Amino acid sequence: MESYQAFEVTEQEDGSFSQQVVSRSTPVLESGNVLIKVQYSAINFKDALSSTGNKGVTRKYPHIPGIDAAGVVLESSDTHLKVGQPVVVTGHDLGMNTDGGFGQVISVPVDWVHTLPDSLSVEDAAVLGTAGITASLCIDKLLMTGLKPSDGPVLVTGSTGGVGSISIALLSDLGFEVHAITGKADQHNALKALGVSEIYGREELSEASKRPIMKPRWAAAIDTVGGVPLENVLKSLKPQGSVAICGLVASPVLNMTVFPFILNGINLMGVDSAEVTSAKKAEMWSFMIEHRAVLAKYQSWVTEIGLNQLPEYVDTILKGNVAGRTLVNLS
Ligand SMILES: NC(=O)c1ccc[n+]([C@@H]2O[C@H](COP(=O)([O-])OP(=O)(O)OC[C@H]3O[C@@H](n4cnc5c(N)ncnc54)[C@H](OP(=O)(O)O)[C@@H]3O)[C@@H](O)[C@H]2O)c1
């Protein structure tokens, strides 16, 4: 494979950014690296930021975004990774300042690569991807507090997003009663089919409250949105409740008192799926493989697109209008 196709973002002299599908030369294998033929990627919120010139995510352009890549080994400097072996890479620096999964070939360090067992296809690994790793890390943190289904319902915010919807599928498979917040009135039936028992509109948690603590409603929560909704979640957890947080689509700002933490013993736990150790990622892949049955009911949450459709879907995800996972088919 001498050249490959990629979705490239370039910075113009006037400071604007343009996106185009280009042909690139396949890189020479560096010592300690693996060349992977990418078959599937997926669009994450971070990819939308990188694709539109967000320097907090990507410092230098031209750049190929894509924090998820699933495919097969093309060439390897590690004898354990054989040519043709199905693999997946998520996070680390992939798609940020290292060219990512929106190209048909990536070159990454060996220790970023996870091999796939026969029981998980390359396509399903991309469906899960960073969203699945993040959902699993959030659930892992909640379970480490001793949380169990009999403690009460678990709330998921940003519920139709990638992280939110996979969190729901996994929590439901673990036997939890799941409640969800969504801005999409047309997705209520799909959320119920995924395992949600109570659905609230975004307005339920969007008003800032002066009250330091509110009526206890949930035993735990997974929050993907931050801001005022997260403040209200923290104030509405049952005593000793926990929330695992990963996102900021509503806001990165929290403006509240310490009372829920020091009077109700609430735990606020952060998740970073990009730089978590490879060993922890491997543990999360094992967890998802164990619960891969959820993928059967997740099929209607997957949209497949080609490289040429990325600009349209980048825009849609930035507007918060995507439901589930958008796979990029690079074959
Ligand atoms: N820390 C980490 O390691 C990590 C990893 C992955 C993702 N993230 C972050 O987690 C967040 C979610 O990621 P994702 O990939 O799931 O994104 P996504 O697929 O774009 O989903 C985000 C969802 O949030 C809801 N939403 C959008 N705008 C909102 C607003 N203004 N107020 C309240 N809710 C809003 C929407 O769901 P509804 O319409 O259902 O409300 C939307 O579908 C992002 O901030 C992302 O950067 C962090």
Q: How far, in Å, CA of 48 to CA of 312, rounded?
A: 10
Ligand 1 atom having least distance to the Cα of 324: 19
Query: Which of 194, 204, 225 to probe ligand 1 with, by most ligand atoms within 8 A of CB?
Result: 225
Give the closest residue (by CA) to ligand 1 atom 28: 320
Segments of the chain assigned to CATH 3.90.180.10: 3-116+300-329
Give the closest residue (by CA) to ligand 1 atom 10: 247
Ligand 1 centre and the CA of 34: distance in Å? 31
Ligand 1 atom having least distance to the Cα of 272: 3
Q: What is residue 114's three-state secondary structure?
A: strand
Q: How far is CA 230 from CA 93, 131, 150, 206, in A?
A: 28, 19, 23, 9
Ligand 1 centre and the CA of 142: distance in Å? 19
Ligand 1 atom having least distance to the Cα of 165: 16
Q: Which CATH number, 3.40.50.300, 3.90.180.10, 3.40.50.2300, 3.40.50.880, labels domain 3-116+300-329?
A: 3.90.180.10
| Contact of 68 with 101, CB cutoff 8 Å | yes
Q: Where are the alpha helices (DSSP H) in the chain?
A: 45-51, 122-144, 162-173, 188-194, 227-235, 259-264, 278-290, 294-298, 310-318
Ligand 1 centre and the CA of 24: distance in Å? 32
DSSP state of 64: -
Ligand 1 atom having least distance to the Cα of 46: 47
Per-residue pLDDT band at 56 (split at 50, 70, 90): very high
Buried b / exposed e along 47-59 (16+ C-beta atoms within 10 A): bbbbbbbeeebbe
Ligand 1 centre and the CA of 84: distance in Å? 34
Strands 68-76 and 86-90: antiparallel
Segments of the chain assigned to CATH 3.40.50.720: 131-270
pLDDT in tens, 187-239: 999 999 999 999 999 999 999 999 999 999 999 999 999 999 999 999 999 99
| Contact of 136 with 287, CB cutoff 8 Å | yes
Ligand 1 centre and the CA of 246: distance in Å? 9
pLDDT in tens, 120-178: 999 999 999 999 999 999 999 999 999 999 999 999 999 999 999 999 999 999 999 99
Per-residue pLDDT band at 182 (split at 50, 70, 90): very high
The pLDDT score that the predictor gives to residue 1 is: 74
Ligand 1 centre and the CA of 33: distance in Å? 32
| Contact of 202 with 221, CB cutoff 8 Å | no
Per-residue pLDDT band at 180 (split at 50, 70, 90): very high
| pLDDT, average across residues 41-51 | 97
Is the predicted pLDDT of residue 95 greater than 90, yes or no? Answer: yes
The pLDDT score that the predictor gives to residue 256 is: 97
Ligand 1 centre and the CA of 177: distance in Å? 21
Q: What is the DSSP string of 15-63?
A: S-EEEEEEEEEPPPPPTTEEEEEEEEEE--HHHHHHHTT-TTT--SSSB
The pLDDT score that the predictor gives to residue 263 is: 97
Is the predicted pLDDT of residue 319 greater than 90, yes or no? Answer: yes
- The architecture (CATH level 2) of 131-270 comes to 3-Layer(aba) Sandwich (3.40)
| pLDDT, average across residues 73-98 | 96
| Contact of 158 with 191, CB cutoff 8 Å | no
Residue ranges around ligand 1 (CB below 6 Å): 44-46, 130-131, 134, 158-164, 182-184, 202, 224-225, 246-250, 271-274, 317, 320, 322
Name the β-bridge partners of 226: 251
Ligand 1 atom having least distance to the Cα of 276: 3
Ligand 1 atom having least distance to the Cα of 180: 40
Q: How far, in Å, CA of 196 to CA of 210, rounded?
A: 29
| Contact of 130 with 57, CB cutoff 8 Å | no
pLDDT in tens, 228-280: 999 999 999 999 999 999 999 999 999 999 999 999 999 999 999 999 999 99
For residue 91, report the phi and psi dihedrals to the nearest 5 degrees. Answer: 70, -135
Ligand 1 atom having least distance to the Cα of 134: 5
Ligand 1 centre and the CA of 193: distance in Å? 20
| pLDDT, average across residues 31-39 | 97
Q: How far, in Å, CA of 139 to CA of 315, rounded?
A: 29
Is the predicted pLDDT of residue 91 greater than 80, yes or no? Answer: yes
Would you state the structure tokens that stand for residue 159, as one six-digit string? 């519920």
